[in-house]
Every structure is written in structure tokens, then in C-alpha cells.
Amino acid sequence: MIKPTLIQGVILSYFIIIYGIGFFKKSKSDKDSFIFAGRRLTLPAFIATLVSTWYGGILEVGRFSYENGIVTILIFGVFYYIAAIGFALFFAPKIITKNIQSIPSLIHTQFGKMPGIISIILILLIASPAPYLKIFSILIQSFWEIPEYVAIIIGISISVLYSIRGGFSSIVRTDKLQFILMFLGFSLILWNLKQNYGGIDFLHKNAPIEIFQIPGNFSWTTIFVWGFIALITFIDPGFFQRSFSGTDVKTVKKGILISVGFWIVFDIMTITTGIYASAILPKIDTSPYLDLAKLVLSPRAYSIFIVSLFSIVMSTIDSFTFISAYTLGMDLPPLLNLKNKNDSVNNTKYSLIIISVLSFTLSMFFNNAIEMWYVLGSIAVPVLLIPILSGLYHIKIKQPLNQFLFPLIITLLWFYHGFNNLDNWGYPQYLFQLDPMYPGLLMSTILFFKLK
């Protein structure tokens, strides 16, 4: 029998502990208990589950900050903080007081069957765990010589098995530990980096000069596109689910605002680590975080840091898998008038298996989570943003199907033109040099005022 190494033993122990925590208590059989944790999320639990699920693409953040530096906090930070604060002030109170359990249920109620189906398709795309399973497989394969498909099966299996038993409550319980681990891991590596190499002066002297420039490697047009993509926060099904699951409006609003503070701190930690990697590592073999941690950390500290990366990725995998499953199991049957349309709990359990198979299949096709965020965000925001705002504030739209279809069509056509006209470096060249988000939002805004 082959004895596992220290890091392998620690990772296996982490998997066992997470599975045990998630599997520990079976959920009640009613919908509110299974899908929304009984609508009793306290402030600490709310913060832990919201913060920990935000960073599933952690290796992509490492790569991006290694290549682009401090502009990362603008693209993946500041815009999202503003959007989250807006959600806390203007969306969360409406979700709770009007008992809006999901985006598709809101769209269906306010605008009809076809808009509801379109919203379900888009939610399934933006909430797909596929790219995070890809990142999980990269982590697993760094320590075990196993095929990619086996690594992906391990990642999805752990999350689905305890979610089927305990529902959203199981996910929240695991998120509490993962919240602690994510901060512990990056605290360890930053402390070691500071001790071994120095602080800001070292970074200024050794990192490429463009790492400290804004907009750096990007144009302001591209940066503002990412700003609009941050509006995906307003249509994030995870935000809706957690807001609906909170004990009251005060807890949810306070929880989101405190979470923004934690996100700011953690973004500073992860981006600073990426900048250290750019100053220390002339080239990357696997990932900036993995290569840097192996270089600077002791075996025990390295094990803890790797577990923190797993915790970040797995907290997103289980949440996104569960969101996709209840979107399919709770929101779709009433739209199709199926016989079991009121059996949300069992439908969601069956859907967990369906989503697992679909996610496994999709994950074999993705290489870059950031590209997926960009494309899906650019499609979903123009289609869903204005209808969701209209639904929350009871603003009537006379031809709702057109409000959904035309922004979707023009955005897809813009992408089609761009990807059929690549430059010499393989980048899409869009009409009028406009990213697809802009014409989609413009069409949605024009239709809103015309059809209102």
C-alpha cells in the first residue's frame, strides 16, 4: 500500500471533514427547510456563506493579478463592491418583504411563461459549476496523477452527496469552515512572503512596472465593460437565495455590507500575493499561487494553504450546483405544468444528479473561467437586469417577451460577428469596436422606455 504524502494526507482529511460536516444533519422535507435553510440564516452564517462562495475562480484571480497587477482590484473588486451595496439597499428588502424566492419565479409571475423559461436558461448558464470543477481538477491533479475526468467526478460527488441529504443547510455549515480556511491560508503565505522578501519596497523594485499601473494592460473601454459585467451581482441567483433565506431585512442588509468589507480585505490579500508572484517568479509552471506557495512555505504551512484553495473552490461548486438544481427542480416544473410541479424538494434532489452530469460534461470544454464570466455576463445582464428591476418595483412592460428576446438576439449577433472576425492574435473584433454588453444594454433600455 502506498503511503500518502503529508499534503495528500491533509487534503484527504479536509475532504473527510467537509463531507462529515455537510452530511451530519438531515434537512427537513419541506421546501423552505431544504432549499432556503428554513429562512433562518443568522448574521454570521449569512456572511460566511456569501463571502466564501464569491471566489470560486481563485486560480484565475491568481493568474490575472500575476499578469496585470493592481488593476485586478478595479476589474474584479471595486465595481462588484458598488453593485453589492446597491443590492443590499435596493434589492434585498424587496426580495424579503415580497417573498421572492428566485429570479425565474419573479420573471414568471410578472412577465409570463416564455420570459420565465429564458430566465431559467440564463440562470443555469451563469450558475454553472463547470468552470470551478475545472479549477478543482487542476488542484487535484497537482497532487495525484489521475485523469481529469476522475478529479472532476471527485469534486462534484462530495458536494452533491451531502447536498442531497442536508440541502442548503449543509452547504452553509461547510461554508463556515471554508470561510475561516480561506483567510487563514492567504494570511500564512503573505506573512511568509513579508518575512522572507520584504514589503512594498521589494515589490516596487522587482515586479514589472505595468503591475502598478491603471489601466495597465487594458483600455478604459474594456475596464468599463467589466464594470457593467459587475451588474451581474443584481441578477446573481446566489444573492437572491441567501437574501430570501435570511432571518429579516436588517440581517440581510447588514450581512451584505459586512461581506463587502471581508471581500475588500480578501481581494487585497489575493492580489498582493499575485504581485509577489510576479516579482519572484520569472515563469509559471502550474499556477502563480501554487508555484509561489511551494517555493516559500514550509510543508505544513503549504498544506494549509492548499487546503484553503480547495475550500474556496469547493464552497462555490456546492453552492452553484445546488442553485442550478433548484432552478431546474423548483422553477421549471410550474412553467411546464408538470405533474410533480409542487414537489420542489424531490425535484431538486433529482436535479442535483442531472446538473452533476451536465456540469461534468461542460467542464471538459472550459479552459478559462474568466472568459466564461465575460461572455455569460455580457449576455445575461442586458437581458435580465431591467426586467428584474421592473419586477421588483412593479413597473409594467407592455411587450415583455420582446424585452427579453431583442437584447438577447443583438448581444448574441454581436458575439457571433466578433468571433468570426478574429485579429492576428485571435481576439474577436466587434462591430464599431463595441463590446457586446453595450449594444445589448442599449437595446434593453430603448425597449424599456418604448414598451413601458
Q: Where are the beta strands (DSSP E) in 80-149?
A: none
Q: What are the start-end ranges of the H helices in 198-298?
A: 200-206, 220-229, 237-245, 249-280, 288-296
Q: How far is CA 364 from the centre of its chain?
A: 18
Q: What is the pLDDT of residue 406?
A: 95
Residue type at position 125: L
Q: Are 298 and 38 in contact (CB under 8 A)?
A: no
CATH architecture of 6-363: Up-down Bundle (1.20)
Q: Enumerate the β-bridge partners of residue 246.
A: 41
Q: Which three cell numbers stand for residue 278?
A: 510576479
Q: What is the pLDDT of residue 367?
A: 61
Q: What is the pLDDT of residue 198?
A: 92
Phi then psi dihedrals of residue 428, to 5 deg: -70, 140
Distance between CA 118 and CA 404 in Å, rounded? 8
Q: What is the pLDDT of residue 423?
A: 78
**Which residue in 153, 140, 152, 143 sits closest to 4, CA to CA?**
143
Q: How far is CA 307 from the centre of its chain?
A: 19
- Is the Cα dihedral 320, 159, 136, 67 positive or negative? positive
Q: What is the pLDDT of residue 368?
A: 60
Q: Enumerate the β-bridge partners of residue 112.
A: none
**Which residue in 145, 123, 117, 154 sits closest to 19, CA to CA?**
154
Q: Are 411 and 439 in contact (CB under 8 A)?
A: yes
pLDDT under 70: residue ranges of the chain: 1-2, 341, 366-370, 452
Note if the pTM is more than 0.85: yes
Q: What is the pLDDT of residue 2?
A: 61
- In the 8-state DSSP scheme, what is residue 434? -
10 Å CB burial of residue 272 (0-12, 13-18, 19+) is: buried
